[in-house]
Structure 1
Amino acid sequence: MSGIGEILKTVGEFGPFQKWLVLLTLLPCLSVSFHQFCQLFMVPNVPHHCNTSWIRAIGPNLTEEEQLNLTLPRDANGAYEQCSMYSPVDWDLDSIMAYGLNATEKCSSGWVYPSAQPPSLLTEFDLVCDKKDLNDISQSIYMMGLFLGSIIFGPLSDRIGRRPVILFSIFLQGLFGVGIAFVPHFYVYMAFRCVVGASVSGITMTILALATEWIGVSSRPKAVLVSHCCFAIGQMILAGLSYGIRNWRLLEIAGSAPIFAFFFCIQVLPESARWLVTRGRIEEAKKLLKKAASINKRTIPAGLLEQLKPETQTKSGSILDLFRKKHLLKVTLIMSCAWFVNSLVYYGLSLNVTNFGLDIYLTQLAFGAVEIPARLGCIFLLQWFGRKKTQAVLLVLSGLVCLIIIGIPEDQPVATTVLATIGKFTASASFSTSYVYTAELFPTVARQTGVGLCSMSSRVAGILAPLIRLLGQYHPAIPMAIYGSAPVLGGLLCILLTETRGMELVDDTGDSHPKAEVHKNANSSSENGHMKGKDGGQDNEYTKTTYF
């Protein structure tokens, strides 16, 4: 080993320095929740009808009710049609009232909304009738931004460092997030949202890498758990913020502008010492390590620092290894499927919050609150039942809940919302399980590649989830049937995987499977963060989310 791992243990695995670092990441994590779900509150369901002010030219004294009776057809329930009107004619008012109008056409002069309705995306850009699908399409465009961000910012952080990518991503998010509040057209709005989505990926991925590289292996699950819980808290804050601010432009500013406060932390946000060592910037790494030790009230032996040298790079497994070798191919395909269906049901439920029948603000609050016990409970489930059973059962349960929702009558919104909340609970816990299980199934030399592939499949599901909602125009049950059946299938496939609880991580891409490890030794290994090679030689350090 190059010495950086030994020095980090001397510095302290989770001292005040690391705790401050985790604290610095909370604000960006809160902003992620806002951008993921804010559009749900910007496109409320409001009554609307075609603008038929043309008849005012020949009947200026008509009341509003008389105008609507003369110019708008009614549906089967007796309500005014929202997307069609009687075709304008050049008759006089007496003739229109005597004979009535018969020919209909689509709205040609815009729509009329309740005058007391606060400005929303729906009312400003007329996201109704033929343009109503743009709402779900724009959500997919945002998810596409997440996908592009994972492709762009991951390699970029390896090239130029964690700190610059975090700061650049935060700048992009703040700039384009606030900029969304001033867009003149909906297509510009979608473009800006795509950039914000890319910045969200840059923030989440790089902050996780920075924390992982500073925090000791035995304490890394704490950092991941804090970020996951913070995401859930952000959803709860969004419910309150959107309830108090109904103007969508002001809401966008209120949710995006606070991210600029992070720039006050520029001077204290550290670069990854481990990354600096891999790039040969030893002196910079030494300064940071001394600073961290000072904050943690530790002392690094001078001789230990002098031994610091660039890490020897182990030959990484290629992406082809994941498909060439039979056992890795099975893991890759099944876990990619698990991530895909998990993301599908998670976003399928989250983005459908407006259709469950209860108040959207209370439902969003419940959806955020339920994620906290789901993330916390996941830890104990993994300890008691193992990875495979937990992953399979949670996926199947989340799917079954969606399938049950299909059979709930529309006049039972409470039952539907309760079931949806249970589904969100199981989907959230399943997501946390996936992070742990995937990292343990892939060998060390191909772990980042494998997790990256699974994450990309999750992003693809995020893109498809809003589009699947469009199938509801053919039958209301189709979207929920897809959201439900997919995770059931994914959960059953997980039964074919190997259990990894209490198993030693595999380092190479050989045909060997994880071997059983004595828990006492495992816990000891968790404390020092290393496994001794078979020949007793160089230690192989690995990310230890295995033992909680």
Structure 2
Amino acid sequence: MRNFGQILKEIGEFGLFQKRLLFALCALNVFPSLDVIGQVYTGRSFPHHCNTDWILERGPNLTEERQKNLTIPVNEDGSFESCKMFTPVDWDLEDIEKYGINTTTKCTDGWDYETGPGDSTVLTEFDAVCDKNGLIAVSQSMSMAGILVGALVYGTISDRFGRRFAILLAISLLLVFGVATAFSPNIYVYMVFKFFCGTSSVAMTMNLSVLAVEWTDPSKSALCTMVILCFSSTGRMLLSGIAYLIHNWRILQLVLFSPLVILLGAHYWFLPESARWLLTHGRKEKAQKELQRAARINGRKLPEDLLDQVKLERTSERRNMFDIFKIQYLRKYTLIMGFIWFAVSLLFYGLSLNVGRFGLNIYLTQFIFAVVEIPANIGSLFLIQHFGRRICEACFLFFGGTACLVILAVPKDLPVVVTVIAVVGKFAVTASFSTAYVYAAELYPTVLRQNGVGLNSMCARVAGILAPLIWLLEVYHYTIPMLIYGIIPIAAGGLCLLLPETLNNELQDHTELKKPENKPMGESTCAESLMKHQ
């Protein structure tokens, strides 16, 4: 009795077909980061003050500096108030200059922004300042909430209707709502569009990595996942350059997401369905066509009777997310891996908030963040292939959490030392995130893989929403946020040691009542176990 791993050996485990597929998936994974990180540029803030052109009716030749001196209060540090102005009066200019105005009011005629030529952001266009200054943060939370919903919904869609359908749906929705965002008439519509963009952006990365893993040999699954994630960093580097050239947020939005039209058409004709998924859902004829196509591109020939030997791999059962919690070992995996994803995301956003103050401009800072992630992804690939997923994930979490705790011991007058330690921590958490993607996909059976990864991603999104709020605890004691960012990852690293190792183990296709044995490629798999039970 053959398993799917043996079928892959017949058609080619990592031939031209898999390499072409990987390239196509990498091209798509540029766009999720454009959606998530793009908000840094579209919601960029600028110094601002109340519009006080009312005084120009009395003195049309006033200089800008003199106008502000007469109409805008000054803070204790000598800067002009951003949200208050002197109350307009019916005096002539001489009286205003002689007596001054003693009463203040909120901005009544909008704001003036200190922007450069062509600068336009959501904040400046919709006046999301002063009483509305929290709306930009709310829009980011709405995007994260959309990512959370997408992690849940796309897991079910992918496991029920297939990986190909889920990816094409995600591309379509990100295209529609990404472009529609550029035509938002107000910030509230903008928030709704960002929510729907979020449902498809990061969920696309999950689906891409799962499809790549299911078409390749287990020894190459980590490579495929890491390469796909590296293109997410590449997307952020491209974003920095594009945003530097395009300062109008509406044009930027169109330039970022319009290319999805071309990719949607190309992937509609090229993108294959997962043959592994097709077999587990009893669609043998479709699976055979996909396998024959892969074999032809790889220069191999698929034996006609090969799939007849794996008929026990098929199943017409429909699984959903709740089935994960009905099986003891999957429930254990999910609780531990969910906490790991939560800790990784919490640490990632926690450190990002702390190391983002390099004193450089926003474009260069974001570029540096993206560059740091590439060696972290590549380095983690070599480490997890040599030492295994479990011990590496535990170590990455430990070092990342320890970095936060060490920062507390460094005097505040040594900012360079603090920054170096924080960058080391960011390196560790990036490697941890990459490993978590690989590890989670290998832990779950095919019939529940996307649901399992979706649940884990949901935990990460919850952490993403909470991470900025933890900084509010600083008002009670400055050490509290960093203690939380440090202790939780270390605890998750300890729990990680309770998970099984999956390095070079054949992917499981079906669920079992008991915890499956860790068997390397070539040995009997769950299909044979099911046959024995029957």
TM-score (norm 1): 0.84
Give RMSD over aligned pairs.
3.6
Conserved in 2, the CA contact under 8 Å of 1:37 and 1:351? no
Moved more, 386-395 or 69-78: 386-395
Out of 436, 455, 458, the position equivalent to 1:456 is 458
Conserved in 2, the CA contact under 8 Å of 1:142 and 1:193? yes
Identity %: 44
TM-score (norm 2): 0.86
Which letter maps to 1:492? Answer: A
Cα deviation digits, residues 203-241 of structure 1 (max 9, x gap): 223222322222222222221111111112212211222
Distance 2:525 2:115 in 1: 71
Cα distance change of structure 1 residues 149 and 438 upon mapping to structure 2, 3 Å threshold: closer
Trace 1:213-292 onto structure 2 (pairs within 5 A). Answer: 213-262=214-263, 263-292=265-294
Distance 1:46 1:232 in 2: 27
Distance 2:466 2:449 in 1: 26
Conserved in 1, the CA contact under 8 Å of 2:344 and 2:432? yes
Cα distance change of structure 1 residues 97 and 423 upon mapping to structure 2, 3 Å threshold: same
Deviation (angstroms), 1:276 = 2.8
Deviation (angstroms), 1:418 = 4.1
Deviation (angstroms), 1:72 = 0.8
Cα deviation digits, residues 321-357 of structure 1 (max 9, x gap): 75895x8776544432221121022133446675442
Trace 1:26-175 onto structure 2 (pairs within 5 A). Answer: 26-114=26-114, 116-117=116-117, 118-175=119-176
Deviation (angstroms), 1:23 = 0.9
Distance 2:426 2:225 in 1: 19
Distance 2:296 2:287 in 1: 14
Conserved in 2, the CA contact under 8 Å of 1:277 and 1:311? yes
Which letter maps to 1:114? Answer: E
Which letter maps to 2:228? Answer: S
Conserved in 1, the CA contact under 8 Å of 2:349 and 2:467? yes
Out of 510, 519, 524, the position equivalent to 1:531 is 524
Conserved in 2, the CA contact under 8 Å of 1:386 and 1:499? no
Which letter maps to 1:92? Answer: D
SS at 1:46's partner residue?
A: coil
Deviation (angstroms), 1:367 = 1.2
Counterpart of 1:208 in structure 2 is 209
Conserved in 2, the CA contact under 8 Å of 1:345 and 1:399? yes
Trace 1:350-429 onto structure 2 (pairs within 5 A). Answer: 350=352, 355-382=357-384, 387=389, 389-402=391-404, 417-429=419-431
Deviation (angstroms), 1:301 = 1.9
Moved more, 424-433 or 341-350: 341-350
Cα deviation digits, residues 144-194 of structure 1 (max 9, x gap): 111111222221223332222222211111121122122121111111111
Question: Are 1:340 and 2:339 an aligned pair?
Answer: no
Distance 1:421 1:93 in 2: 55
Distance 1:284 1:323 in 2: 30
Distance 1:498 1:40 in 2: 38
Deviation (angstroms), 1:410 = 8.8
SS at 1:94's partner residue?
A: helix
Conserved in 2, the CA contact under 8 Å of 1:322 and 1:450? no
Which letter maps to 1:41? Answer: Y
Deviation (angstroms), 1:309 = 4.0
Conserved in 2, the CA contact under 8 Å of 1:340 and 1:460? yes
Q: For structure 2, which runs of at least 5 residues remain unmatched after alignment?
A: none
Distance 1:237 1:539 in 2: 53
Cα distance change of structure 1 residues 412 and 68 upon mapping to structure 2, 3 Å threshold: farther
Deviation (angstroms), 1:60 = 2.8
Deviation (angstroms), 1:443 = 8.4
Distance 2:43 2:411 in 1: 25
Cα deviation digits, residues 232-289 of structure 1 (max 9, x gap): 2212211222222222222212211122221123222212223333343332222222
SS at 2:272's partner residue?
A: coil
Cα deviation digits, residues 403-432 of structure 1 (max 9, x gap): 566788999876665444323211111112
Which letter maps to 2:134? Answer: D
Cα distance change of structure 1 residues 97 and 45 upon mapping to structure 2, 3 Å threshold: same
Cα distance change of structure 1 residues 37 and 413 upon mapping to structure 2, 3 Å threshold: farther
Conserved in 1, the CA contact under 8 Å of 2:159 and 2:450? no
SS at 1:49's partner residue?
A: strand
Cα distance change of structure 1 residues 535 and 332 upon mapping to structure 2, 3 Å threshold: closer
Q: For structure 1, which runs of at least 5 residues remain unmatched after alignment?
A: 541-548
Distance 2:276 2:513 in 1: 24
Conserved in 1, the CA contact under 8 Å of 2:342 and 2:462? yes
Cα deviation digits, residues 487-521 of structure 1 (max 9, x gap): 423313532443644887997454x7x87x7xxxx
Deviation (angstroms), 1:15 = 0.9
Cα distance change of structure 1 residues 37 and 130 upon mapping to structure 2, 3 Å threshold: same
Conserved in 2, the CA contact under 8 Å of 1:228 and 1:375? yes
Conserved in 2, the CA contact under 8 Å of 1:86 and 1:104? yes
